C-alpha cells in the first residue's frame, strides 16, 4: 500500500486500499454499509443534485469505507480527522480539500476476512448508527465542496431514489453471487435497504439542525499551540521502548 508513495517520481500523496470482502466462514458477500448504503446513496445524490466534482470523486473509489490508507508526512500534517463512523468519508473529504486528484492512488489488497456487524434495532446501534454518521459526513462534504444543501422537497425525492437504487443493487448482488456460486440472502438484504431508507429523513434533519461537528485538529494546528509536542512524544516513545527492553531482558 505504501509502494506508490516510496517513488517520489509518481507524485502520489495519498493511497486508498480496496479489496474483496467475503466471509471466510460462510463465503457470503459482506460490506453492507458500502454495498447497500454508500453506493446507492451517492448514486441517488448524483441524480438529485447533478454530477458535481465531489460526488464524482467519492464514487471513483472502489471501496470508500476501507480503513486502510497511506499518505505522505506533508499531507498528514494538514488533515483533520472526524471522531465518529464518518471517519473514512470525512478523511476523503479532507484529502480532496488538500491535494489534486492526480496525486491519489488506489491499491488492491486482495481478499479480507470481513468482520460482520449487526444492522442494529435502531439508529443508535450497529450498522444503522454507522450509516447515520456516514450520511452526515457525506452531506457535510457536499456543503463544503459543492455548496449543496438538501431541501425538504429534495429529501423526499432522495428517499424514493435511494430505495429504488438500493433494490436494484440487491438484485445485482444476487446475480453476482449466483454467477460465482456464493450464498445470498436476498430477503435479508432487502430488509437492510428498507431500514437504511428509514434513516435518511431523520438523520438528514438532525444534521441540518447542527451541521458542524467535532474533528481532531491537524498536526499543524496542534503544533502551533504546542511547538515542542513532537519532541516530547519522541522522548516519551524512547523511554517506553527502553522500559519494554528492560522488562524483556528481566523476563528472560
Indicate whether 114 pLDDT > 70. Answer: no
Distance CA 201, CA 162 (A): 11
Indicate whether 20 pLDDT > 90. Answer: no
Give the chain's domain count.
2
User: What stretch of H or E contains 181?
Assistant: none
Structure confidence at residue 88 as a pLDDT band (50, 70, 90): very high
pLDDT of residue 246: 62
Helices of type H across the chain = 3-6, 32, 39-49, 53-59, 73-76, 87-98, 126-146, 152-179, 186-209, 219-225, 229-251
Structure confidence at residue 141 as a pLDDT band (50, 70, 90): very high
For residue 106, give the C-alpha cell: 488506489
Indicate whether 82 pLDDT > 90. Answer: no
Looking up cell 499543524 gives 220
Same domain, 141 and 199: yes
Same domain, 252 and 127: no
Mean pLDDT of 59-71: 94
Helix (H, G, I), strand (E, B) or coil at 110: strand
* Percent of the chain predicted with pLDDT > 70: 95
Distance CA 151, CA 48 (A): 11
Comparison of pLDDT for 211 and 193, the residue scoring more: 193
pLDDT of residue 242: 67
Q: What is the pTM of this model?
A: 0.87
Structure confidence at residue 179 as a pLDDT band (50, 70, 90): very high
Same domain, 69 and 157: yes
pLDDT of residue 245: 60
Same domain, 103 and 79: yes
Give the domain extent around 223.
Answer: 217-252
pLDDT of residue 135: 96
Structure confidence at residue 215 as a pLDDT band (50, 70, 90): confident
Same domain, 131 and 39: yes
Same domain, 130 and 87: yes
Same domain, 160 and 197: yes
* Percent of the chain predicted with pLDDT > 90: 64
Same domain, 121 and 196: yes
Same domain, 147 and 43: yes
Indicate whether 244 pLDDT > 70. Answer: no
pLDDT of residue 230: 82
Comparison of pLDDT for 4 and 247, the residue scoring more: 4
Mean pLDDT of 22-48: 92
Same domain, 63 and 176: yes
Same domain, 143 and 21: yes
For residue 113, give the C-alpha cell: 476476512
Distance CA 36, CA 41 (A): 8
β 215-216/14-22 pair status: unpaired
Same domain, 232 and 140: no
Residue 20 φ then ψ, to 5°: -80, 130
Q: What torsion do the CA atoms of 53, 100, 39, 41 make, to the nearest 10 degrees?
A: -40
pLDDT of residue 101: 93
Amino acid at each position: 500500500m505504501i509502494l506508490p508513495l516510496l517513488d517520489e517520481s509518481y507524485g502520489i500523496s495519498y493511497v486508498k486500499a480496496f479489496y474483496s470482502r467475503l466471509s471466510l466462514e460462510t463465503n457470503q458477500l459482506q460490506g453492507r454499509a458500502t454495498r447497500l448504503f454508500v453506493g446507492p446513496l451517492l448514486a441517488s445524490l448524483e441524480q438529485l443534485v447533478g454530477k458535481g466534482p465531489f460526488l464524482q470523486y467519492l464514487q471513483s473509489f472502489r471501496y470508500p469505507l476501507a480503513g486502510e490508507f497511506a499518505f505522505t508526512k506533508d499531507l498528514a500534517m494538514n488533515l483533520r480527522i472526524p471522531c465518529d463512523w464518518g471517519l473514512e468519508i470525512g478523511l476523503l473529504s479532507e484529502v480532496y480539500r488538500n491535494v489534486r486528484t492526480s496525486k491519489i492512488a488506489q491499491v488492491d489488497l486482495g481478499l479480507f476476512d470481513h468482520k460482520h456487524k449487526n444492522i442494529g434495532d435502531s439508529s443508535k446501534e450497529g450498522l444503522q448508527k454507522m450509516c447515520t454518521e456516514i450520511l452526515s459526513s457525506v452531506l457535510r462534504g457536499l456543503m463544503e465542496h459543492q455548496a449543496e444543501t438538501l431541501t425538504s422537497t429534495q429529501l423526499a425525492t432522495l428517499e424514493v431514489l435511494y430505495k429504488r437504487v438500493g433494490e436494484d443493487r440487491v438484485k445485482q448482488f444476487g446475480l453476482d453471487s449466483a454467477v460465482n456460486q456464493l450464498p445470498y440472502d436476498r430477503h435479508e438484504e432487502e430488509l437492510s435497504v428498507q431500514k437504511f431508507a428509514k434513516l435518511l429523513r431523520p438523520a438528514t434533519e438532525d444534521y441540518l439542525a447542527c451541521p458542524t461537528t467535532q474533528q481532531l485538529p491537524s498536526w499543524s494546528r496542534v503544533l502551533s499551540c504546542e511547538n515542542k509536542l513532537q519532541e516530547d512524544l519522541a522522548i516519551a516513545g524512547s523511554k517506553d521502548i527502553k522500559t519494554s527492553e528492560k522488562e524483556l531482558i528481566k523476563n528472560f
